[in-house]
Amino acid sequence: MDPLLATSMAQIMAKVKELGTRFGSFSEREAVNVEKMNQAHTCIENIEAHLKEIEATISEDNETRARTLGGSSRSASIRR
């Protein structure tokens, strides 16, 4: 085999290995980022669920107040 060709092939193989290592490292970082994104998504879903609970509680409280106030004004008008 031609020494120049052997040297070129060795350099190419070294570059391929280097790219493989970089790709492996990139894949690991990507996996970590995907996991972090999944955790963030779960947190957002939990926050949205809590907000819905709060909205439902506020709505119930408003309905209760409306009934209470409505009942008070009817009682007051009946007494007059």
Q: And the tokens for 32? A: 């970590």
Distance CA 48, CA 7 (A): 60
Task: Please tell me whether residue 80 adopts helix, strand or coil conformation.
Answer: coil
The residue segments making up the domain with residue 58 are 27-80
Residue 59 belongs to a domain: yes
Q: And the tokens for 3? A: 């020494």
Q: Provide the residue-wise pLDDT of the chain in tens; the chain has 80 residues.
A: 788 888 899 999 999 999 888 888 888 888 899 999 999 999 999 999 999 999 999 988 888 888 888 765 544 445 44
Residue 11 belongs to a domain: no
* Domain tally, the chain: 1
Which pLDDT score is estimated for 72? 55
